């Protein structure tokens, strides 16, 4: 339970008047220039990174939108906050970041890009204003009732602040959904990146991606088109984030704010099956995320933190930085944003998938719904993956094998066997500690929810 206090008693510290969280759905960090990508144009996010503390080994605890955002906002693993996957509810016993800031006197605003965070799932608790209008807007090509373009998201945020005026204290959560399937960037981003013969240019997509041997030529061409459009979505979203930042600067908000830019999960391409998907596995392609934190007046800008960090550390670290009370018993371990040059320390990171593969593998009948699904543990650069439904385990050295192509347990050296044993024991203790709050699919609108999530490629 959070300690309640009046706004005067909960005055934030460190010169922070505003808090802004920008969420980039389905965004792989290796598709941003600031994370080392040489061919996708992301100038606005790159500039933000230059003004921010950037975490180069940031890992989400789950690779699906609703449970991942709930973990970000509660500082808890899904097996604590209880939301197993998209379509389920967020238990109101959870204390959200939004509620903590609202108690402290912040005017709380959410601008949502996708039905996955719809208010019917109770992620909206604590928001004074929650905009989830997914209708098609002029100048965009989003044609469903379930998502909207980055242009529409930025426009909704700007229009609200123009109409309402800038609050004394503002919490602004802006969710961009564009890099999620279906990949449909608007012109000119739809044709921004072309495939060329590798011999003609050293700076094309073919240099970075290799055709899997088991894909037919037809499927290979289709997947190349998907990768090209995904890159276009990233650049289009970057442009719209830039428009939002320009507005925040113009209104005098940015330099008085603590700004967090993050992604809830990535996307698997050809590194692992199933291609162009997320939610079924805990490989880095889907678990690793973007994370940069811009302090007021860009203090400590350009700092890069290499130590692995979990998404559940963000909420407690932010709340501590603001000198606000934390809920009791949260899973996340805070780090000191005020002394960022001190190491954040060796941390053990855990994560779990939300879907099974193959698709027809049955769910667990009772208890925690993720109990039979892929899960992982990472300490330093060593990562262990266990998939109970497949009776499989894997071990990777991420320093030399970042895309997890060489399972060290297939021809194990003694040190690999020892590392796997130690990590297996820790992971199984973590999994056994699941005490989820109740979550459910709302029966009255269950079929509609399922159909709308299917339209977004879920379920």
Q: ω into residue 222 within 30 of 0, thus cis?
A: no
How confident is the model at residue 128, as a pLDDT?
98
Q: Per-residue pLDDT tens for 198-248?
A: 433 334 444 345 556 577 778 878 888 888 999 999 999 999 999 999 999
Q: What digits encode the pLDDT tens for the residues 307-340?
A: 999 999 999 999 999 999 999 999 999 999 999 8
**Can you tell me the distance from the alpha carbon of 152 to that of 140, in angstroms, rounded to the nearest whole number?**
8
Residue 119 carries which DSSP code? Answer: G
Q: Which domains does the chain have, with CATH numbers?
A: 18-348 (3.40.720.10), 375-432 (no CATH)
Measured N-to-C along each axis, helices 150-164 and 217-250 cross at an angle, to the nearest 10 degrees, of: 20
What kind and span of H or E run contains 291? strand 291-294
Mean pLDDT of 143-158: 87
The pLDDT value given to residue 448? 78
Section 352-377 average pLDDT: 72
Q: How far is CA 374 from CA 57, 332, 419, in A?
A: 20, 21, 18
- Tell me: pLDDT of 367 over 80: no
Query: How confident is the model over 206-215, as pLDDT tens digits?
Result: 434 555 657 7
- The answer to whether residue 74 scores a pLDDT higher than 50 is yes
pLDDT at 363 over 60: no
Backbone angles phi, psi at 23, to 5 degrees: -105, 130
pLDDT per residue as tens digits for the range 274-292: 888 898 999 999 999 999 9
Give the confidence band of 194 by pLDDT, cuts at 50, 70, 90: confident
CA dihedral of 240, 293, 284, 86, whole degrees rounded to 10: -60
Reduced to 3 states (helix: H, G, I; strand: E, B; else coil), residue 368 is coil
In the chain, % of residues over pLDDT 90 = 70
Please state, for a pLDDT cut of 70, what percent of the chain lies above it.
Answer: 88
The confidence score (pLDDT) of residue 337 equals 93
Give this prediction's pTM: 0.92
Which pLDDT value is given to residue 7? Answer: 41
Q: What is the pLDDT averaged over residues 13-26?
A: 92
Look up residue 64 and give its two tokens.
Answer: 């699906």
Q: What is the pLDDT of residue 196?
A: 57
Q: Give mean pLDDT, residues 449-453.
A: 78
pLDDT-derived band at 195, boundaries 50, 70, 90: low
Q: Name the CA radius of gyration of the chain, rounded.
A: 21
Indicate the pLDDT class of residue 421, thresholds 50, 70 and 90: very high
Lowest mean pLDDT among 12-26, 410-424, 426-440: 12-26
DSSP-derived secondary structure letter, 116? G
What's residue 146's pLDDT? 84
Least confident of 81-95, 103-117, 202-216: 202-216
What is the average per-residue pLDDT within 94-104?
98
- Which residue has better confidence, 440 or 70? 70
| Position 141 confidence tier, pLDDT thresholds 50, 70, 90 | very low
């Amino acid at each position: 339970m959070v300690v309640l206090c009046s706004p005067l008693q909960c005055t934030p510290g460190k010169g922070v008047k505003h808090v802004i969280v920008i969420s980039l759905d389905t965004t792989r960090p290796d598709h941003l220039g600031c994370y080392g990508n040489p061919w996708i144009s992301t100038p606005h996010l790159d500039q933000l990174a230059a003004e921010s503390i950037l975490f180069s080994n940031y890992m989400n605890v789950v690779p699906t939108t609703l449970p991942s955002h709930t973990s970000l906002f509660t500082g808890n693993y899904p097996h604590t906050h209880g939301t197993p996957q998209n379509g389920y509810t967020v238990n109101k016993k959870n204390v959200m970041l939004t509620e903590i800031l609202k108690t402290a006197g912040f005017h709380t605003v959410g601008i949502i890009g996708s039905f996955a965070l719809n208010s019917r799932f109770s992620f909206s608790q604590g928001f004074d204003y929650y905009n989830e209008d997914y209708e098609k807007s002029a100048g965009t090509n989003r044609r469903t009732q379930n998502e909207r373009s980055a242009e529409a998201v930025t426009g909704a945020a700007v229009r609200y602040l123009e109409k309402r005026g800038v609050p004394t204290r503002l919490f602004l959560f802006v969710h961009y959904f564009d890099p999620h399937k279906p990949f449909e960037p608007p012109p000119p981003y739809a044709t921004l990146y072309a495939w060329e013969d590798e011999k003609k240019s050293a700076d094309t997509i073919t240099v970075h991606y290799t055709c899997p041997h088991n894909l037919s030529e037809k499927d290979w061409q289709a997947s190349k088109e998907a990768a090209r459009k995904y890159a276009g979505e990233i650049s289009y979203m970057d442009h719209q984030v830039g428009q939002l930042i320009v507005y925040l600067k113009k209104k005098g908000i940015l330099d008085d704010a603590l700004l967090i830019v993050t992604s809830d999960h990535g996307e698997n391409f050809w590194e692992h099956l199933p291609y162009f998907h997320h939610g079924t596995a805990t490989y880095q392609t889907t678990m690793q995320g973007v994370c940069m934190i811009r302090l007021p007046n860009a203090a400590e800008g350009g700092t890069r933190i290499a130590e692995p960090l979990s998404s559940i550390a963000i909420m407690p670290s932010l709340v501590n930085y603001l000198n606000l009370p934390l809920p009791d018993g949260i899973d996340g371990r805070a780090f000191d944003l005020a002394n960022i040059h001190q190491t954040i320390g060796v941390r053990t990171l855990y994560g779990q998938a939300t879907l099974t593969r193959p698709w027809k593998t049955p769910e667990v009948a009772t208890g925690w719904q993720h109990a039979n699904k892929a899960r992982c543990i990472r300490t330093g650069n060593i990562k262990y993956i266990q998939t109970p439904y497949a009776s499989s385990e894997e071990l990777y050295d991420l320093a030399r094998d970042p895309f997890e192509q060489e399972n060290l347990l297939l021809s194990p050296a003694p040190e690999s066997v020892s590392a796997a044993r130690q990590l297996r024991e820790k992971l199984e203790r973590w999994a056994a500690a699941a005490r989820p709050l109740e979550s459910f699919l709302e029966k009255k609108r269950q079929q509609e929810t399922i159909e709308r999530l299917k339209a977004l490629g879920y379920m």
